Copies of this chain bind each other. A is one copy, B any other.
Amino acid sequence: MKYSELKQSLKNHKLRITDCRMDVLEYFQKQNKALSFKDLEDKFQEYDRVTLYRTLHSFTDNGLLHKIPGDGGSAIYGLCHDCGVENHHHNHMHFKCNNCGTTECIDSPINIPKVSLPDNYEMSDIDVIINGICKSCHDN
């Protein structure tokens, strides 16, 4: 992607043009995949960790990047219903209420809808997290 386009992209999202932002944005464009903070830290050792954090935050705040929940960090835990020691699948949905913060498992009668993937992608399991307003907050 051309320099001028990157620049315009930052402007469109009401962000100032700085070296760090240009480099990070270009890298995201070029990689065309989701990156972790660590990826950026390794790649851009010339920038301070803090600057990279703030770059990511400003990008997500202004709609240039979105955040995808990862493995580690502040996870929450729910009871499995049909899992054993060997077969540990958890393909049901989770509903997180934006109002009360509660996360529930939505088991039945609703199932995960069939998703169709592009050719040669093979799915082993799926995590669905729905954000919204839960029943009990809605009722009260």
Q: What B residues does A63 contact at CB under 8 A?
A: 80, 83-88
Counted per complex, copies of this chain come to 2
A20, chain B: closest CB distance, angstroms:
15
Q: What B residues does A29 contact at CB under 8 A?
A: 79
A70, chain B: closest CB distance, angstroms:
4
CA distance A104 to B139 in the complex (A): 38
- Contacting B at CB under 8 A, from A12-63, are 12-14, 28-29, 32-37, 56, 59-60, 62-63
- Contacting B at CB under 8 A, from A79-114, are 79-80, 83-88, 90, 93-95, 98, 102-106, 110, 112-114
A44, chain B: closest CB distance, angstroms:
14
Given contacts A93-B115, A135-B119, contact A127 B69 (CB under 8 A): yes
A60-B77, A66-B77 known, 7 other contacts, Cβ within 8 Å: A14-B85, A28-B79, A29-B79, A34-B78, A66-B83, A67-B76, A124-B131
- Give the interface of A toward B (CB within 8 A): 12-14, 28-29, 32-37, 56, 59-60, 62-80, 83-88, 90, 93-95, 98, 102-106, 110, 112-135, 138-139
